[in-house]
A and B are shown apart, each in its own frame.
Chain A
Amino acid sequence: MKRTFLKIYTLALAAGLFCALPACKKGYLDINQTDPNLTQRPPINGLLVATTYQSAINVYSTGYITAYYVQQLASPNTGSGSDIYDDVDRSSNWRAIYLNVTDIRQMKQLAVSQRAYEHLGVADILEALNMSMVIDLYGDAPYKEAWSEGEDLRPAYDGAKAIYDSCLSLIDQGIAALNLPDPLVALDPVNDLVHGGNKSAWIKTAYALKARLLNRKSKLPEYDPAAVLAALELAYDSNADDAQITRFESLSPWNSVAKNNASGTLDGWLSATFVNALNGTTYGVADPRLPLITDLTRFGDYRGTVNGVGRTGSGTDNSQCALSVNGFYSRGGAPLLMLTYAEMKFIESEASFVANKAGSYQAYLDGIAAHMDKLGVAPAAKQAYVSNPVVAVGQAAFTKDLLFKEKYVATFLQPETWTDARRYDYKYKNFQLPQGALLNTFIRRVGYPTSETSRNPENVPPVGSLADHLWWDK
């Protein structure tokens, strides 16, 4: 009995020790050398989807900041930081753009090794688009030392002008890459959320972006309208060429804003400046685009919120206009616009204003018409508006003021509107400082985010105030 017990339990002990044996197995400890939740070989079209989507979202989130500065949107809360020029922390916007460029550069690397020239071109264009938003808001920013794959954890800041020049050369490189013959991998139509794999559409977008960037130098002596027009030649021909996305993770972002507002999470309220510009108060003509953006208030009219004043009603009693869940920009599935034909028309108008006033005036009218078509304004209403004497003043009486006034509407919710406002020195009619503004003059830049001031402080350049002009805003 005893011996049997002994045998059984020695066996049990040995069996137990076997459990310790896996430790002796080769590679037993290698289990954490790679992360099974990640892959080392991402599909290039997977990066394409990620980068095109995120670039559009970045346009949205940057627009969400700038729309308050140009008084297209206003906060329902009195004294809200984004209205009254408070140094609000923009860490998430900064982060979203920089992380997106990380993915863009990874795509570029893969494109080079896989000879996917179209992806290479798209990557260049998207990087230029994203960086152009960074320098527009923040001015100087890290560029050459950024994205060092961990080599440099505290990148130095480069001058905004240098980054701007890099953007222009990126666009040229992108166009050249798109024109290279025989890529081994082509853009996948399903995964290219912007242009559905259409190479020539991307080339047009590249020129459109170039035109926009070149036009930014309007205040500087080196402003070259001819170059702008040359770029526009090869850019968009119609609304069908617009760079936009229509597929989303869940809801179209502005739609989500409108829906939240409708359910009580107040957001997406229209500024009185914008509403008054369109409801006849400021300019004397009712713009048929307004009903396609928002709904009537409970008073039966359109009224906005004065920036800095906040709501006058309870917030949920429909006393003031907000983005509508049925509006063009904010209904379900609404396209998220990145670069549009209408915008190009206005750039054309501005660039040719001096040299070719007739062409400039026509471009202005075409721009209005194009925007109205985009929003779905009925032809009769469109015709009525475009021929209204307030709008159609005639070539001789055509001024830059009218140009900017209309461009303000056509680039609703676009980040570029703020660049335009600053180039125009905010000279829109009845455009005033928000109530309770923390600056004595209009805002000209955004401060650096706390993610930079706390994690990279020695490199962050000092900012005097948010009224400091950026390099092109002299």
Chain B
Amino acid sequence: MKISTGLVLIVLLAVCSTTFAQKGKTISGKVVDADTQQPLERVVIVEKNSQNHAFAGETGAYSITLTGDSATLVFSILGYVTQQIRVGTGDVLDIALKPVHRDLSEVVVTAFGVKKEKRALGYTIQQVDNKDLNVNHQPNVVNALQGKVAGVQISSSGGGPGQGSRIIIRGINSISGDRNNQPLFIVDGVEIDNNTYTTGGAETRGMSNRAADINPDDIESVSVLRGGAATALYGIRAANGAIVITTKSGKAGKLQVTYSGMYGFDKVNKTPEVQSKYSQGYLGEYDPASFWPTFGPTVEEAKKLDDTHPDQLYNNYKQAFKTGMQTRHTVNVSGGTEKAQLLGSMSYLDQDGVIPFSTFTSYNARINGQFEISKKFSAGVSLNYINSGGNRVNADRYGEQIIYWSPRWDMKDYVKPDGTQQTYSSGTNNPIYTLSTNKFRDNVNRTIASTFITYKPTSWLNFSYRVGNDFYTDGRVHQAPGPLGLVGEAPNLDDNEYGFMYEYNLRSRTLTSTVMANVSHTFKGKYSVDLKIGHDLRDQRVRRNSVMGDTLVVPDLFLLNNAKRVTAESYIYDYRNYGYFADLTLGLNNYLFLELTGRNDLTSTLSVNNRSYFYPSVSLSYIFSDQFKLPNWWTYGKFKASWAKIGKDGDAYSITNGFKAGTTIGSSVPFYQNRTLGNPNLRPEFTQTTELGTELRFLDGRLGLEAVVYQQQSKDLLVPVDVSTTTGFDKAYVNAGEISNKGLEVTLSVVPVRTKDFSWDFRVNFSTNSNKVKKLNEELQLSEIVLSSQYGYLSSTVSTKLVPGQSYGALYGRTYKRYYGNEVDDKKTLRTDLPLLIGANGFPVLDDASNQRYLGSTLPKWIGSTTQTFRYKQLSLSVLLDVRHGNYKYNQLSNFLSAFGESKETENRDQTMVFNGVLADGTANTKPVYLGQAKGPDGVDYGAGFYRNYYRGASENFIEDASWVRLRSLSLSYTLPVQWLTPTKTISGATVSFTGNNLWLHTKYSGFDPETSSSPSGSNASDSFSGFTYPATRSFLFSLNLQF
């Protein structure tokens, strides 16, 4: 074994206990890497308890003049174990620093912020540190995790500024409306609110998930707890996993200031293909004021009729989007002494989206302090203030209006000199004009405060208490001007009505409190016992008032007193939950660990009989490489197994019934029975997870493999089920059924090359999850539950349903009729193996709308990602690729594009073809039909044409494969050599980097980027439907990081 010369030196020095008069003495030496013996530069050498410091140069050489007696020098650099050496008699002090083999002694943050060595854990945790998290400079912390963790599916709902993002850990195992499937977010031990509120009719405005307020630059590390035993201690709210965020805190030592800045620009990465052959009009007749954008004659023919017609049609999708911009600046000041460390940071983010008039700005200020009050007491406080908000465009509506706008006209010419709408017909609104007048602004003021105190009376006992408060107000204003009343005005009455001003105010306060006692002791050096017991409480309170003033007297005076009619609404929401937990970890010889936990939760959402429930978990970790002698190339091996049961409570008020006040009629207030049937007998939902896995390291850590298989069963799912309206209700809360998930997660990390100047390491994450609806509530004889649906023309509306035997999110819709001959039609399966049934008129026949057939699954078969990092001296290149495979989505955009004759496939409308299929009598179809409108070349009147009469009514035409392979980020960074910086005397470190995000996408999907969705990030429907989304963007960023 290599015993570093450094260690010998330390021993020798320690022996010399005499203090020397050292003040004014200069110590010099060389710092090297203990493994490779290569010199280490930029090592910080600090004289302990002073401000005196020095840096190692390129050759590893350093020199420091002591300012005190009995000095101790601290040598530290990231990636190596810090060493403290007492200065002895000599002038020369050479040091060899040992690199941190993270894998072997990695410490991860587990539930309640407890740091544990990864080796002791019987369940799976993956941790992402600041550098990996921020390599692609994503402003939303959820997006920043994309591709970096296995078993996690993250979808950004769009590229809009501040747009919400959704994270699902290990598949869908719960369907309740309130908490959906999102994991719990903990920042520094305090639960923060991650809701996406769509108050104000903002379902399609891409509202932020509230975790977007956290500045990823402030994060030290993120631990992803994938559920089961990992989150058993957190209880109810972490049934879908937990994201535990630890923010940066001050370090002892001199004052350090860092600045990081980023500037970038964004462009839309993918738009649908549109036809460019046919101009405005209908039935082949040109009309520049037609409602129909592209059912007219060809461009050549139109130009003959209209000499103002452009030579080429505009491409609406090029006109509709511009180049967006984003910039972020963060300044971080930290410093401290042994006893107190402080960190302060300020950050500014500004984003201008690719859709005009969409913006998001965020100011973030944070203070974090840790104090060692005495040997026994330590405390900390953290305060984070955020102000964020922007103008949120209705991307779905924008997308819809783009389709209605004829490409014969220039969309960008949206306003007349007198300020009113520029459009070619009063029946069509200019999409950009709508955005410029119909404004929706949110303004969030949020304070996340937390404090903790730890008391350690003896070495084996400590108490800790942590309390936190996440309070925010979200003020939203939605306004639009009324018609100005000018001559020739074409007002937008669809979106702006007669002018309105709506104000919504939401206040949310979440209080978390955790008290914990910890007893730990190791007997005889072999047997370790660690017992934690505690109590944890969460209290949430939300209040909301809305005031809506419509029909403005003075059309552009946006004051509520200027509205003819003012209505108001208020809403109250409370939730309380607390639990008692205990965690016992027994260890043998530091290679065999057994952890047992139990938690009893009490919740306010269920009735008194059902509100208290207990659930345990057990996990085992066996590091067999410590017990058995393994061949040299096999460095580490661990086997882990765990089983956990987690309970989950219902939505607040799911057990209640009553009457609610409706919109006033004149001066009367009507009362209606609440349309959701509450169920006082609701039981909690339980999920059982079994996990088996292994962690292996080979070749001294150069090759690492972690693999986990898991199975999850959720019973008594709490769902508000759609019921027959003849019951008097729309929905009823029931314990609806069972769902199971099973899957495999693999993480591979390899360091193929590591030399003095060049290294290459990569990581691969792979996960598959297979979901199945086991059964639905048998008492109620539910054969299926409709979760959500999205509109399609001619009853081609697609819905996602829960059907026993299918996976969650099965897509159902309307299809063409097939010829069954002697076979029986079960009216549920789409038999693509059977020929199409062709009608007497030569066209396929649309099946009855009530035969809703299975069209595909929303859930991917597997997802994977890989991060490749190359380092050459000062340069570092990082590549992140991610893949999602096997999921289908309903492309509503394509449904509309074909209904309006704009999609590329409709370019064949001048063709005549014979549809491949059989007639009702079984004989093959031979009738040629014209695909266009009105009179075909055969003299037959085809009316509105194939695309409008048939094509747009078959949902099956629009269910597309949304799998993708994408180059999510490519980042090149250069760390400036120290000698360039020393002349500045202030800057001690500098890194510049160029990053490209979302540079390349390969997918069969024909709309915008298949990751985007018009459903809000909190909704379970967002994977199934994309609608007219805020398109995703390709970004080019330049960033600079300076340390002073």
Chain A residues proximal to chain B, CB less than 8 Å: 2, 5-6, 9, 12-13, 16-17, 19-20, 22-23, 28-40, 42-43, 45-47, 49-50, 53, 78-79, 81, 86-89, 91, 94-95, 98-99, 101-103, 105-106, 141-142, 146-150, 152-155, 190-191, 193, 247-250, 259-260, 263-266, 314-317, 436, 447-448, 450-458
- A150 CA to B781 CA, complexed, in Å: 14
Q: Would you call A98 and B670 a contact (CB within 8 A)?
A: no
B986 in contact (CB, < 8 A): no
Q: Would you call A248 and B671 a contact (CB within 8 A)?
A: no
Q: Would you call B729 and A317 a contact (CB within 8 A)?
A: no
Q: State whether A40 and B576 are in contact (beta carbons under 8 Å apart), knowing that A2-B374, A152-B727 are contacts in the complex.
A: no
B725 in contact (CB, < 8 A): yes
Which residues of B669-728 have CB atoms within 8 Å of chain A's CB atoms?
Answer: 669-675, 677-679, 722-728
Q: Would you call B786 and A454 a contact (CB within 8 A)?
A: yes
Q: Would you call A32 and B728 a contact (CB within 8 A)?
A: no
Q: Which residues of A contact B949 (CB under 8 A)?
A: 79
Q: Which residues of B contact A450 (CB under 8 A)?
A: 849-850
Q: Would you call A79 and B943 a contact (CB within 8 A)?
A: yes
B128 to chain A, nearest CB (A): 31
B948 to chain A, nearest CB (A): 7
Q: Which residues of A contact B795 (CB under 8 A)?
A: 81, 86-89
| A308 nearest CB neighbor, chain B only | B943
Q: Would you call B658 and A34 a contact (CB within 8 A)?
A: yes
- Name the one of B493, B668, B670, B948 contacting A264, with C-beta atoms under 8 angstroms: B493
- A315 CA to B427 CA, complexed, in Å: 8
Q: Which residues of A contact B726 (CB under 8 A)?
A: 98, 141-142, 146-147, 155, 452, 456
A249 to chain B, nearest CB (A): 5
Q: Which residues of A contact B943 (CB under 8 A)?
A: 78-79, 436
Q: State whether A316 and B665 are in contact (beta carbons under 8 Å apart), knowing that A32-B652, A38-B658, A78-B943 are contacts in the complex.
A: no
Q: Would you call B604 and A29 a contact (CB within 8 A)?
A: yes
9 pairs of A and B residues whose beta carbons are closest in the complex? A38-B658, A263-B493, A50-B670, A102-B728, A46-B671, A264-B427, A42-B659, A456-B724, A316-B427
Add 11 more A-B contacts to A37-B660, A86-B795 (CB < 8 A). Answer: A6-B377, A17-B465, A28-B604, A29-B603, A37-B653, A98-B725, A103-B672, A142-B724, A191-B668, A264-B425, A450-B849
Q: Would you call A99 and B657 a contact (CB within 8 A)?
A: no
Q: Would you call A49 and B665 a contact (CB within 8 A)?
A: yes
- A88 CA to B662 CA, complexed, in Å: 29
Q: State whether A19 and B467 are in contact (beta carbons under 8 Å apart), knowing that A38-B658, A454-B786 are contacts in the complex.
A: yes
> Which of B228-236, B285-293, B618-626, B757-765 sits within the interface?
B285-293
Q: Would you call A13 and B658 a contact (CB within 8 A)?
A: no
Interface centre among A50, A89, A265 (most CB of B within 10 A): A50
Which residues of B265-319 have CB atoms within 8 Å of chain A's CB atoms?
Answer: 287, 289-291
Tally of chain B residues near chain A (CB < 8 A): 96
What are 15 sample pairs from A and B whose C-beta atoms fall under 8 A apart? A23-B537, A29-B576, A30-B608, A32-B605, A33-B607, A35-B678, A37-B572, A99-B725, A102-B729, A106-B673, A190-B667, A264-B426, A264-B427, A448-B850, A453-B850
Which residues of B364-394 have CB atoms within 8 Å of chain A's CB atoms?
Answer: 373-374, 376-377, 379
B974 in contact (CB, < 8 A): no
Q: Would you call B655 and A314 a contact (CB within 8 A)?
A: no
Q: Which residues of B contact A146 (CB under 8 A)?
A: 726-728
Q: Which residues of A contact B655 (CB under 8 A)?
A: 32-33
| A30 nearest CB neighbor, chain B only | B604
B428 in contact (CB, < 8 A): yes
Interface centre among A46, A95, A101 (most CB of B within 10 A): A46
- Name the one of A16, A47, A456 contacting B467, with C-beta atoms under 8 angstroms: A16
Q: Would you call A99 and B675 a contact (CB within 8 A)?
A: yes
B533 to chain A, nearest CB (A): 13
Q: State whether A16 and B453 are in contact (beta carbons under 8 Å apart), knowing that A5-B373, A49-B665, A190-B668 are contacts in the complex.
A: yes
B584 in contact (CB, < 8 A): no
- A266 CA to B725 CA, complexed, in Å: 30
A262 to chain B, nearest CB (A): 8
- A263 CA to B496 CA, complexed, in Å: 11
Which residues of B569-590 have CB atoms within 8 Å of chain A's CB atoms?
Answer: 571-572, 574-576, 578
- A3 CA to B377 CA, complexed, in Å: 12
Q: Which residues of A contact B565 (CB under 8 A)?
A: 250
Q: Which residues of A contact B289 (CB under 8 A)?
A: 314, 316-317
Q: Which residues of B contact A249 (CB under 8 A)?
A: 663-665
Q: Which residues of B contact A259 (CB under 8 A)?
A: 493
Q: Would you call B515 and A20 a contact (CB within 8 A)?
A: yes
Q: Which residues of B contact A105 (CB under 8 A)?
A: 728
B974 to chain A, nearest CB (A): 48
| B780 nearest CB neighbor, chain A only | A153
Q: Would you call A455 and B723 a contact (CB within 8 A)?
A: yes
Q: Which residues of A contact B662 (CB under 8 A)?
A: 50
- A452 CA to B726 CA, complexed, in Å: 9
| B781 nearest CB neighbor, chain A only | A154
Q: Would you call A29 and B665 a contact (CB within 8 A)?
A: no
Q: Which residues of A contact B129 (CB under 8 A)?
A: none
Q: Which residues of A contact B850 (CB under 8 A)?
A: 87, 447-448, 450, 453
Q: Which residues of A contact B425 (CB under 8 A)?
A: 264, 314, 316
Q: Which residues of A contact B605 (CB under 8 A)?
A: 32
- A23 CA to B943 CA, complexed, in Å: 70
Q: Which residues of A contact B574 (CB under 8 A)?
A: 31-32, 36
Q: Which residues of B contact A12 (CB under 8 A)?
A: 379, 453
- A49 CA to B670 CA, complexed, in Å: 5
Q: Which residues of A contact B661 (CB under 8 A)?
A: 39, 46
A37 to chain B, nearest CB (A): 6
- A454 CA to B812 CA, complexed, in Å: 11
Q: Would you call A32 and B660 a contact (CB within 8 A)?
A: no
Q: State whether A34 and B727 are in contact (beta carbons under 8 Å apart), knowing that A20-B515, A264-B493, A316-B426 are contacts in the complex.
A: no
Q: Mark B643-662, 1 if CB is under 8 A from A, else 0.
A: 00000000011011111111
B83 to chain A, nearest CB (A): 31
B252 in contact (CB, < 8 A): no
- Name the one of A29, A99, A265, A314 contacting B611, with C-beta atoms under 8 angstroms: A29
Q: State whether A38 and B660 are in contact (beta carbons under 8 Å apart), knowing that A99-B725, A450-B849, A452-B724 are contacts in the complex.
A: yes
B312 to chain A, nearest CB (A): 24
Q: Would you call B666 and A247 a contact (CB within 8 A)?
A: yes
B794 in contact (CB, < 8 A): yes
Which residues of B585-613 have CB atoms within 8 Å of chain A's CB atoms?
Answer: 602-605, 607-608, 611
Q: Which residues of A contact B287 (CB under 8 A)?
A: 314
| A143 nearest CB neighbor, chain B only | B726
- A455 CA to B656 CA, complexed, in Å: 23
- A454 CA to B800 CA, complexed, in Å: 12
Q: Would you call A150 and B679 a contact (CB within 8 A)?
A: yes
A51 to chain B, nearest CB (A): 8
Q: Which residues of A contact B944 (CB under 8 A)?
A: 78-79
B730 in contact (CB, < 8 A): yes
A98 to chain B, nearest CB (A): 5
Q: Which residues of A contact B453 (CB under 8 A)?
A: 9, 12-13, 16
Q: State whether A99 and B660 are in contact (beta carbons under 8 Å apart), knowing that A37-B571, A50-B670 are contacts in the complex.
A: no
Q: Which residues of B contact A40 (CB under 8 A)?
A: 658-659
Q: Which residues of A contact B852 (CB under 8 A)?
A: 454
Q: Which residues of B contact A315 (CB under 8 A)?
A: 291, 427
- A165 CA to B652 CA, complexed, in Å: 43
B783 in contact (CB, < 8 A): yes
Q: Would you call B656 and A34 a contact (CB within 8 A)?
A: yes
Q: Which residues of B contact A453 (CB under 8 A)?
A: 850
B781 to chain A, nearest CB (A): 6
Interface centre among A28, A141, A148 (most CB of B within 10 A): A28
- Name the one of B427, B727, B799 contacting A147, with C-beta atoms under 8 angstroms: B727
- A190 CA to B670 CA, complexed, in Å: 11
B784 in contact (CB, < 8 A): yes
Q: Which residues of B contact A19 (CB under 8 A)?
A: 467, 511, 513, 537
A334 to chain B, nearest CB (A): 15
B455 in contact (CB, < 8 A): yes
B927 in contact (CB, < 8 A): no
